[in-house]
Amino acid sequence: MDSFYDFQRAKHLLDAAQADRNQMFLKQSRSLIVDRNGDLEIRHYSNPHSYRVTNREDHEHPNSPLEETIFRLQGVVYERELPPMMASSRVYARKQAPYLRQHIGIVGLGLPYMSTAVDQLYQILSKFQRALNGQTLNPWTADSSFGPGHIGITANCRYFTVGSGASTKQSLPFQDGVDPDGILQSLVTSTMVHTEDNSVLYMKASKSGLKWRYTDIPPADISIGDVVEIQFTIRTIRQRDSSYKMIMILRSVALLDDSVSTAASVARNRAFSLRKDPPITQRNLLKRVKYEDSSDEEDVREHLRVHRDMAGLRIGN
């Protein structure tokens, strides 16, 4: 986002969208900032080893089955690392594949609801601390990379489930628009599969009267500056030093409004077309990055640095 982006207009649209969406009752997810979270339970799972936020399927019946809680939160996209994975991407070796992921970061543009969301996440972090019973849980902080005074929330989802337990999981085809050239599919093995837990849904949400309607869209339709709603689950995962880290697992992205980002793109293209500057010959700044053995809890920032270095395809044996 730059000087062509109308921040005030985006802030107005975001505020209206979050006020509307957070008052909705959705069976599949709950608002992070409105819904009561007193019924949440932390449960330990062994495959893969993690602690997860759960709730009863029927809150009126305390003996009903547990399900992983899905939260929703609105914001403006300020960073993205989303499909498609094209043939112009580069994968140096098969051992890099487990660390490839879909990633998004959203910001509240200074609106107070985002501070409420962060407070709720600290409440959940406290629940994890109790469940871990003295085991080390690393601090969690909201992302501040967008700029001073702005709070960002990030979520990601890996393309693959790996390890010996992967063979017991049902492997699913990649959704339309995710792997058009078959790059990711070529990396699937008996110990590295793409499961429901690795899938992210991409939709456009449109309101007609009082009713919201949803249509599938390709991931490429999500751009920086769009107003979106993300759905995510929350887990703590064990790292190589046996400490734990709280992460948000991306489950879906719903496009709520792209008018401001589209207008900015049009204005930017118009301005650039009027420039008389001579073309600039770009230097090749690509640098190969070697992957070291790592746990399943590599920080998303390391992934982003590596993934931006991908340009051209070479799959190792």
pTM of the model: 0.83
pLDDT, tens digit, 9 for 90 and up, residues 42-67: 999 887 789 999 998 877 777 889 99
Q: Has residue 25 got a pLDDT over 90?
A: no
pLDDT, tens digit, 9 for 90 and up, residues 285-310: 554 444 444 454 455 455 545 455 54
Q: Which domain holds residue 285?
A: 7-307
How far is Cα 221 from Cα 257, in angstroms, rounded to an integer? 11
Residue 313, in any domain of the structure: no
Q: Which two tokens stand for residue 154?
A: 């990030």
**Comparing C-alpha atoms, which of 9, 2, 307, 316 is closest to residue 158?**
307
Q: At what angle do helices 7-21 and 259-273 cross, to 10 degrees?
A: 160
How far is Cα 289 from Cα 287, in angstroms, rounded to an integer? 6
Residue 316, in any domain of the structure: no
**What's residue 246's pLDDT?**
97
Question: Can you state the percent helix, strand and coil of the chain, rounding each to 5?
Answer: 25, 30, 45
What's the domain count of the chain? 1
Residue 67, in any domain of the structure: yes
Q: Has residue 167 got a pLDDT over 80?
A: no
Give percent of the chain with pLDDT exceeding 90: 61
Highest mean pLDDT among 61-75, 104-118, 152-166, 263-277: 104-118
Rounded to a whole number, what is the largest CA-CA distance in the chain?
A: 71
Cα dist. 202→27, 215, 312 in Å? Answer: 18, 9, 25
Strand partners, 73: 230
Residue 312, in any domain of the structure: no
243 CB contacts (<8 Å, ≥6 apart)? 135, 136, 137, 138
Residue 286, in any domain of the structure: yes
**What's residue 294's pLDDT?**
45
**189-191-252 Cα angle (round to 5):** 85
